[in-house]
Chains A and B, each alone.
Chain A
Amino acid sequence: MNFYNEMIDADNGVRAHYRAYDEWLKATPADRIARKRAEADLAFHRVGITFAVYGEEAGKERLIPFDIIPRIIPSQEWKSMQAGLRQRVKTLNLFLHDVYHDQEILKAGKIPAEQILNNAQYRPVMKGVDVPGGVYAHIAGVDIVRAGAGEFYVLEDNLRVPSGVSYMLEDRKMMMRLFPELFAKHKVAPVQHYPDMLLEKLRAVAPNGVNDPTVVVLTPGAYNSAYFEHTFLAQQMGVELVEGRDLFVKNETVYMRTTQGPQRVDVIYRRIDDDYMDPEVFRSDSTLGVPGILRAYQAGNVTLANAIGTGVADDKSIYPYVPEMIRFYLGEEPILNNVPTHMCRKPEELKYVLAHLSELVVKEVHGAGGYGMLVGPASTKEQIEHFRKLLIAKPDGYIAQPTLALSNCPTFVEEGIAPRHLDLRPFVLSSGKCVNMVPGGLTRVALTEGSLVVNSSQGGGTKDTWILED
């Protein structure tokens, strides 16, 4: 397979937007680079920018490897990507509102009704609930990959509790600290205002009649894999970081326990999944959530960001319908491509998938984090046969996609500098009619040679992402 290299073109020349960086890299002594890389590792460790890996020794924290070669995107490409992201996220919010109200898209026959109504992520408790500004996915992390020049595909829309934005910000901080001279040479669009933008969005969706809302970040606690990010965002926004046990509901209003007595909470940026939010409604064994919070939410006394029930729009079984949604709600053609997707619940498609397992990527419909997936071309016979059994046993639990020729980018690895595959997760913020984002996003890179899985839980690393201004 031929892969698009972000830095080097087909004739082995350096692409225009990487030229200045390439000159700098060639002119910089190797020992200085090595020293700076060690410095970055030490700094990340000392600051404690770590994440916990599920399934490893409890409380163990790992660094996400940081690569010092940036992923550079020319502004022209970013502009079109940005327009595509706006269009897509706007549509997904319209879709969520529709699904929980009149269900026009189902009536129009664009999506089979049972696909929505029987979906585990569809939350009947949200039927008829009006959320401020009609926004459900206030924060969306849309994963985009490149297959060729100007050829971008959306891999998935993460509308529940997408994470990674703190790495985007810390990577930039680290690059500026290690190599200030690079920023003098390049006009890199800034990203550091993300927390301000987020706070502004959260304040904008406060319940009716609240002028000076109290915003909090709700975390499952210090053992969550993304805990660093929760504390980081709360601190950067200057709001309280709360756990479920810090909150209680009285008279359908949410309060937090403070040293000065109860204080009303208006907007909750929650980093806890739907299932754990309210033991009165969802999982009764959850100790992470707040009993009664859904009642307060339905009464309109508190705003949750993201809303309950957004999973029905980012589910992999719904993903194939997004282009159709864009046409339905906006009357526009999709700007960003969808990866052609085989829905294994359809017998004829399952047949095709089973016959081509070694070429396809198979994903669990409800899976995330790179767990429970099969990358056909990179798998052993046993792994493929294992998935064949899984697919036959539960076809509606899986989708399959052609293996994309993910672009790659030079990256520091043990042996020196070598190309590694990457993706991009821009963070898209919505409130009312406004959809905004900071330029770029989080670039994740698969550090294992040939690997197409970039998730940090699977050994992926990150790079600073540069959108070059003209």
Chain B
Amino acid sequence: MLSRTADHLFWMSRYIERAENLARLLDVTWQMSLVPQPVEVANQNWKAIIALNSLEESFEKKYSTVNAENVLRFMVSDTDNYASIHSCLRLARENAHAVRGTITSEMWETLNSTWLDAREKTFEQLYGAGIADFFEWVKMRSSLSRGTTLGTLLQDDSYHFIRLGTLLERADNTARILDVKYHVLRPQGEEEGATDFYQWGALLRSVSAFEVYRKAFRDVITPERVAELLVLRSDMPRSLHFCLNGVIKTLDLLANAHSHETQRQAGMLHALLHYARVEDILEQGLHEWLTDFMDRIYLLGNGISRDFLMPMVEEAA
């Protein structure tokens, strides 16, 4: 397959996944902000979202205070914010547009109408109508596009690159959400507070894992188990382990003459998750461990770009 085509497919799926995860996170934070709590605590949660994407600087340029409305406006509808849901949906559609002949017409129509609908909605309308409905819509549109992909696309290289993009993005996003929330919830050495149940519950819900947790542990929510579920469970579709399982399998299918090193790195990262114990990770410090993980995911993305998506060398044919 054409490298440029693969590149568009890869990024198309990354942006869809990114929009979905962002909608999940904002949704949960919004729900949580409705639980009685001190203003500082609420604002700290909103601040964490800006920090999640390292967007403090561009946020401060446009908004003077951190509060629910400003952060939602910035992360939902702001066209200047390349990481907003609006931007993600636009970029997903632009990438799809560039390869609309490669994806199925159902896939294209799904992404195109998602964008056309999103474009029509002003922040005031969304906020006024209850923004939770919008988050629900984004999640459903993402599910729909994943579903049409699964249900209509030939499982050739184009499918594999889409899958690779989805999994890599999800691994990164889950790690980020866990890192930021965990940080807020567990400042060094502090004991659990009373609102923790709701906070941990919210974190689980943001990755659609609340019910999964109940099923898996049938016990009270503890930070260790949350970390275990989101990092190490191989059968939990949004966990890091699950994502890396898919990444190495997909890379095997796509392997070419130059991709050896990238596959090796993916394999190492996978082994790290496959053979890890949650106690060891927590002992090392979850934040440190996740930071390292995100760095490696970033490098893996670079490797994939170099080997498959934009080969710069015109090697001897």
A residues near B (Cβ < 8 Å) are 45-48, 222, 230-232, 234-235, 240-243, 245-246, 248, 250-251, 253, 255-262, 264
Contacts and interface: CB of A to CB of B under 8 A. Distances in A.
Most chain-A Cβ atoms within 10 A of its Cβ — which of B116, B161, B314, B317?
B317
Given A259-B1, A259-B157, A259-B256, A241 B317 contact: no
A205 B5 CA distance: 26
B157 A47 contact: no
A418 to B, nearest CB: 31
26 contacts: A48-B97, A222-B98, A234-B101, A235-B102, A240-B1, A245-B4, A246-B2, A250-B317, A255-B314, A257-B2, A257-B3, A257-B4, A257-B311, A257-B314, A258-B2, A258-B3, A259-B3, A259-B157, A259-B254, A259-B256, A259-B308, A259-B309, A260-B256, A261-B257, A262-B315, A264-B317
Size category, B interface = 20 to 34
Interface stretch (B74-82, B107-115, B139-147, B242-250): B107-115
Closest 3 A/B residue pairs (Cβ) = A231-B101, A235-B101, A262-B317
Contacts of B314: 248, 250, 255, 257, 262
Nearest to A231: B101
A253 B316 CA distance: 12
A360 B316 CA distance: 59
Nearest to B259: A259
Contacts of A264: 317
Contacts of A256: 2
Contacts of B309: 259
B109 A46 contact: yes
Most chain-A Cβ atoms within 10 A of its Cβ — which of B3, B97, B254, B258?
B3
Nearest to A228: B100
Given A222-B97, A255-B314, 16 more contacts: A45-B116, A46-B112, A234-B101, A235-B100, A240-B1, A241-B102, A243-B4, A246-B4, A250-B314, A259-B3, A260-B256, A261-B256, A261-B311, A261-B315, A262-B317, A264-B317
Interface string B286-317: 00000000000000000000001101001111
A240 B156 CA distance: 14
A334 B3 CA distance: 49
B6 interface: yes
Contacts of A241: 5, 101-102
Interface in B109-140: 109, 112-113, 116
Contacts of A235: 100-102
Nearest to B255: A260
Contacts of A260: 1, 256-257
B5 A240 contact: yes
Contacts of B31: none
A251 B317 CA distance: 9
A299 B101 CA distance: 31
Looking at chain B's contact residues, the main secondary structure is: helix
A224 to B, nearest CB: 12
Contact of A46 (B94, B100, B113): B113
A246 B105 CA distance: 23
A246 B97 contact: no
Given A245-B4, A246-B3, A257-B311, A48 B317 contact: no
Interface string B238-273: 000000000000000010111000000000000000
Nearest to B317: A262
Contacts of B317: 250-251, 253, 255, 261-262, 264
A246 B309 CA distance: 11
A42 to B, nearest CB: 10
Contacts of B3: 246, 257-259
Most chain-A Cβ atoms within 10 A of its Cβ — which of B94, B98, B157, B316?
B98
Contact of A240 (B2, B109, B112, B257): B2
Contacts of A48: 97, 100, 108-109, 112
B6 A259 contact: yes
B79 to A, nearest CB: 14
Contact of A232 (B2, B101, B109, B157): B101
Interface string B1-30: 111111000000000000000000000000
Contacts of A232: 101
A250 B316 CA distance: 8
Nearest to A236: B101
Contacts of B254: 259
A137 B256 CA distance: 39
Contacts of A47: 105, 108-109
Interface string B144-175: 00000000000001000100000000000000
Interface string B75-103: 00000000000000000001001101110
A234 B1 CA distance: 14
A258 B1 contact: yes
B11 to A, nearest CB: 14
B307 to A, nearest CB: 8
A117 B108 CA distance: 47
A240 B5 CA distance: 9
B100 A231 contact: yes
Contacts of A257: 2-4, 311, 314
A251 B314 CA distance: 12
A235 to B, nearest CB: 4
A5 B29 CA distance: 66
A164 B113 CA distance: 24
A230 B99 CA distance: 11
Nearest to B308: A259
A268 to B, nearest CB: 14
A45 B6 CA distance: 26
Contacts of A45: 116
Nearest to A254: B317
B160 to A, nearest CB: 9
Contacts of A222: 94, 97-98
